[in-house]
Structure 1
């Protein structure tokens, strides 16, 4: 199934995964705009 999808529409593999809570992590954005959180114990 994956091989068939890759032959028919290779762009689908570049945007994978599709059915997870978080799609793809944007590594560049994560480095440039870190979302740092902490709380006092």
Structure 2
């Protein structure tokens, strides 16, 4: 659960920062969170 919370914080930060600066930061954050969520499923 702790890692999921950390991922949410990271995604929120990258999402906000990405809107102001780089769109690819957003896609990177979603890739990371997607990879971690898949890893947690197994």
Q: TM-score range by the shorter chain?
A: under 0.3
Instruction: Select the structure of larger CA radius of gyration.
Output: 1
- Name which structure has the greater RCO, CA cutoff 8 Å, separation 6+: 2
TM-score for both structures, normalised by structure 2? 0.27
